């Protein structure tokens, strides 16, 4: 039929003759004729089932029409229900997507002029985000219990100005340590952040500052180490309560599956296991203070300058005619001549120390001479403390200079913070750190500050006390103990063996093939806690200057660590709870049906389908 090219119709078939190598030739793919082949294969032979089809329609014609009508009605009802389910599924997915990380809001640039305050849109007309960290923490902290602890330690006076709300005091300290802010910045952040004010218990937003920033020092003095540890124990009890509730639910489901017959046997076994439960990890670290690196020459120069100021104060209040000679300009010049040298030999440093010792001894003698002519001590409490510290420092430095050593008992490394001691740690970065030494135990991700000391101690001697403290907290001994090599003495090994506690450490003697091998990451949790506390919350640089406020600062950081841990565990539960409540709310408005064949009515019917376990 298709002769020549005059008809203008393209023939999709293999051309005659040998296939052409030219790329312009028309090639036919193997699947070009699949549609018609599929039609033939699907249809079968035309007359194979004609008799059966005729018999079918002759016998069930009336029933088929009735069934089709009922099926159409059922189909329409199912389609409506399916649309409702799809809408519900989309809303649930949108709700779950909100929990994921979203990109930052990218506001388009419109003008170079700053908007006026009256034209700036604020979110205060809307509700606060329930998943905000301050909202989650505000519902997580037992405010009534910890405020009761605060009021027991700091009683409210019946006279004078009313005291500050305990929740504002404790909440502001938590904000300070959690965000790693200084005192002034914390007060400014509270006055600017609506979520922080909700966390502190405010009923509405206000731009006024809650209190003066200098009151933070009084808060840290009133809330000492013992008080904050007690508050921390109360907050940590929430973790124990959450775990116990989870274990109770798991136990109930297990008993329901096993039945009443096997319940008595499991109860006796669990009572035997309850005497040892859980795992504890020990370690110690140093909390460096915010002081300059101490050298003998610098300490003597600082003490000499402070002594010169004390001479000026005592001379003004003594009324004596002659003022003791101090040689302050000459002493300062000699100090700078040595301190500003890049390379200082031992001989040069020793000569400079001798010179500063002589100047400091003259100044101390001049202070005593002025005090002898006074009827009372002219110094205030702080200056009197400096006078005692300077005399002790002179005695220590003179003893080390005389003996030619660099160690002395209770060595002072700062005249402003005389309670700070050098702690030898042997680390690669800094062999000696200047601050307090703490002993910490980590239990199921929760950190406990067992001991804080300003003097160096051997942490291996604290293992037995920490184990007994574990029993006091939870009512039973731990099942496993993971500790560093310094803890694994023979005394501690025998103590743990008597108490039936497993020690996860390298055994003594030659290693055996059947011994318990300890993986390198067994003690990672406690090392991670130290890194988190030092890098994120400022444990590597305690900025408080007093002994009491420094201890309160360190205890507050560990309290914040536990709050962050509890908030991380509670946030998925809150999100899951909100999603479940949303689904349950929607399911009350939706009717689910199933198609059922009714033998009596000889027709299809719809039966309600109840959804359980949501």
Is 111 a domain residue? Answer: no
pLDDT at 57 over 50: no
Same domain, 533 and 557: no
Question: Within a 13 Å sphere around the CA of 199, how many CA atoms are in the beta-carbon half?
Answer: 26
How does pLDDT run across 208-261, given as a tens digit for each residue? 999 999 999 999 998 888 888 888 888 887 666 766 666 666 666 666 666 554
Residues 492 and 558 in one domain: no
If you count them, how many residues does the chain have?
614
Question: How far is CA 468 from its chain centroid?
Answer: 27
Task: Note whether 137 and 249 are same-domain residues.
Answer: yes
Residue 456: give its domain's CATH number.
3.30.420.10
Q: Which distant-in-sequence residues (6+ apart) come within 8 Å of 360 by Cβ?
A: 300, 303, 304, 307, 390, 394
Domain count, the chain: 3
Whether 382 has a pLDDT exceeding 70, the answer reads yes
- How far apart, in whole angstroms, are the C-alpha atoms of residue 13 and residue 15? 6
Q: Is 24 part of a structural domain of the chain?
A: no
How many alpha carbons lie under 13 Å from residue 391 in its C-beta half-sphere?
11
Classify residue 113: in a domain, yes or no.
no
- The Cα 469–Cα 319 span in angstroms is 59
Residues 146 and 165 in one domain: yes
Cα(128)–Cα(56) distance, integer angstroms: 67
Tokens representing 216 are 């933070």
State the alpha helices, DSSP H only, in 319-445: 328-339, 346-372, 381-403
More confidently predicted of 520 and 461: 461
For 42, the token pair is: 């699907």
Is residue 320 within 8 A of residue 587, CB to CB? The reply is no
Question: For the segment 534-572, what is each residue's pLDDT rounded down to a tens digit?
Answer: 999 999 999 999 999 999 999 999 999 988 888 776 544
Determine, yes or no, domain membership for 132: yes
- Tell me: pLDDT of 59 over 70: no
3-class state of residue 475 by DSSP: coil
491 occurs within a structural domain: yes
Helix axes of 381-403 and 346-372: crossing angle, nearest 10 degrees: 140
Does residue 319 lie in a domain region?
A: yes
Q: Give the orientation angle of helix 183-192 with respect to helix 215-222, to 10 degrees.
A: 110
- Picking from 347, 371, 403, the residue at the C-terminal end of a domain is 403
Residues 492 and 567 in one domain: no
Q: For residues 552 and 471, what is the distance between their CA atoms, to the nearest angstrom?
A: 25
Residue 255: both structure tokens together: 């008993």
Tens digit of each residue's pLDDT (9 = 90 or more) over 11-56? 666 666 665 554 444 555 656 666 666 555 544 444 444 444 444 4
> Quick one: 383 and 444 in the same domain?
no
Q: With contact defined as beta carbons under 8 Å apart, do 194 and 125 qualify?
A: no
Whether 352 is covered by a domain: the verdict is: yes
Please, are residues 486 and 282 in contact by the beta-carbon 8 Å criterion?
no
Do 537 and 580 sit in the same domain of this protein?
Answer: no
Phi then psi for residue 598, to 5 deg, are -95, 115
Say if residues 575 and 99 touch (Cβ distance below 8 Å).
yes
Q: Which of 6, 2, 257 has its CA nearest to residue 15?
A: 2
What is the pLDDT, as a whole number, of residue 383?
A: 93
pLDDT at 529 over 60: yes
Report if residue 477 sits inside a domain.
yes
Q: Tell me which of 373, 403, 433 is where a domain ends.
A: 403
Alpha-carbon torsion 357, 358, 364, 367, what sign? negative
Q: What is the DSSP string of 231-274?
A: HHHHHHHHHHHHHHHHHHHHHHHHHHHH-STTHHHHHHHHHHHT
Q: Which of 357, 373, 403 is the last residue of a domain?
A: 403
C-alpha–C-alpha distance, residues 572 and 538, integer Å: 28
- Alpha-carbon distance of 432 to 422, in angstroms, equals 6
In angstroms, how far is CA 535 from the centroid of its own chain? 12
Query: Within this chain, do residues 399 and 461 fall inside the same structural domain, yes or no?
Result: no
**For the ranges 22-26, 301-305, 356-360, 434-438, which has the lowest average pLDDT?**
22-26
CB 288 within 8 A of CB 540: yes
- CA-to-CA distance for 465 and 492, rounded, in angstroms? 11
Q: Is-contact 400 272, C-beta < 8 A? A: no
Domain of residue 311 covers 296-403
Does residue 382 sit in the same domain as residue 469?
no
| Confidence at 285, pLDDT banded by 50, 70, 90 | very high
Helix 215-222 to helix 547-587 angle (10° resolution) is 90
Give 336 or 40, the one with higher predicted confidence.
336
Q: Per-residue pLDDT tens for 483-499?
A: 888 898 999 999 999 99
- Read off the pLDDT band of 318 (50, 70, 90): confident
Domain check: are 497 and 532 in the same one?
A: yes
Same domain, 315 and 365: yes
Whether residue 304 contacts residue 363, with contact meaning beta carbons closer than 8 Å, is answered with: yes
Torsion sign (Cα): 474, 480, 483, 485: positive
- Together in a domain, 303 and 396: yes
């Amino acid at each position: 039929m298709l002769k020549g090219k005059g008809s203008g119709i393209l023939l999709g078939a293999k051309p005659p003759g040998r296939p052409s190598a030219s790329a312009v030739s028309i090639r036919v793919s193997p699947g070009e004729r699949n549609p018609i082949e599929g039609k033939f294969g699907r249809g079968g032979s035309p007359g194979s089932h004609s008799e059966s089809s005729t018999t079918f329609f002759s016998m069930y014609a009336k029933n088929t029409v009735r069934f089709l009508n009922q099926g159409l009605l059922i189909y329409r009802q199912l389609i409506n229900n399916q649309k409702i389910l799809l809408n519900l599924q989309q809303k649930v997915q949108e709700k779950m997507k909100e929990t994921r990380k979203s990109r930052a809001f990218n506001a388009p640039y419109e003008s170079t002029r700053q908007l006026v305050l009256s034209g700036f849109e604020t979110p205060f007309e809307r509700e606060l985000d329930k998943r905000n960290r301050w909202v989650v923490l505000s519902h997580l902290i037992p405010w009534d219990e910890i405020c009761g602890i605060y009021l027991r330690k700091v009683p409210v006076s019946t006279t004078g100005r009313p005291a500050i709300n305990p929740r504002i005091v404790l909440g502001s300290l938590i904000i300070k340590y959690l965000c790693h802010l200084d005192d002034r910045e914390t007060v400014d952040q509270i006055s600017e952040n609506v979520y922080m004010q909700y966390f502190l218990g405010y009923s509405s937003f206000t731009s006024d500052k809650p209190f003066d920033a200098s009151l933070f020092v009084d808060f840290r003095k009133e809330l000492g180490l013992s008080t904050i540890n007690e508050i921390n124990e109360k907050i940590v009890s929430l973790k124990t309560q959450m775990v116990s509730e989870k274990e109770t639910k798991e136990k109930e489901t297990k008993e329901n599956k096993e039945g009443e017959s096997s319940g008595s046997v499991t109860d006796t076994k669990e009572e035997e296991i309850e005497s040892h439960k859980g795992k504890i990890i020990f370690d110690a670290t140093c909390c460096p203070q915010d002081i300059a690196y101490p050298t003998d020459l610098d300490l003597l120069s600082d003490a000499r300058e402070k002594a010169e100021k004390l001479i000026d104060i005592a001379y003004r209040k003594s009324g004596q005619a002659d003022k003791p000679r101090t040689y302050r300009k000459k002493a300062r010049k000699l100090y700078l001549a040595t301190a500003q040298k890049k390379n200082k030999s031992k001989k040069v440093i020793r000569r400079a120390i001798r010179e500063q010792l002589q100047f400091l001894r003259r100044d101390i003698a001049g202070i005593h001479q002025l005090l002898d002519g006074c009827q009372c001590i002219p110094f205030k409490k702080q200056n009197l403390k400096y006078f005692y510290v300077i005399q002790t420092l002179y005695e220590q430095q003179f003893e080390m200079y005389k003996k030619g050593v660099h160690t002395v008992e209770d060595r002072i490394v700062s005249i402003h913070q005389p309670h700070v001691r050098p702690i030898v740690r042997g680390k690669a970065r800094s062999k000696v750190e200047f601050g307090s030494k703490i002993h910490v135990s980590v239990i199921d991700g929760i950190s406990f500050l067992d001991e804080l000391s300003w003097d160096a101690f051997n942490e291996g001697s604290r293992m037995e006390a920490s184990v007994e403290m574990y029993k006091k907290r939870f009512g039973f001994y731990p099942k496993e103990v993971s500790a560093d090599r310094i803890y694994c003495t023979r005394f501690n090994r025998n103590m743990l063996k008597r108490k039936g506690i497993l020690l996860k450490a390298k055994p003594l003697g030659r290693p055996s093939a059947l011994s318990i091998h300890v993986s390198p990451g067994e003690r990672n949790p406690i090392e991670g806690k130290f890194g988190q506390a030092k890098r994120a919350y400022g444990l590597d640089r305690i900025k408080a200057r007093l002994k009491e406020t420094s201890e309160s600062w360190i205890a507050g950081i560990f309290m914040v660590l536990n709050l962050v841990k509890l908030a991380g565990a509670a946030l998925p539960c809150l999100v899951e709870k909100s999603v479940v409540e949303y689904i349950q709310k929607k399911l009350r408005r939706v009717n689910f049906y199933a198609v059922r064949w009714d033998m009596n009515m000889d027709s299809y019917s719809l039966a309600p389908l109840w959804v359980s376990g949501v």
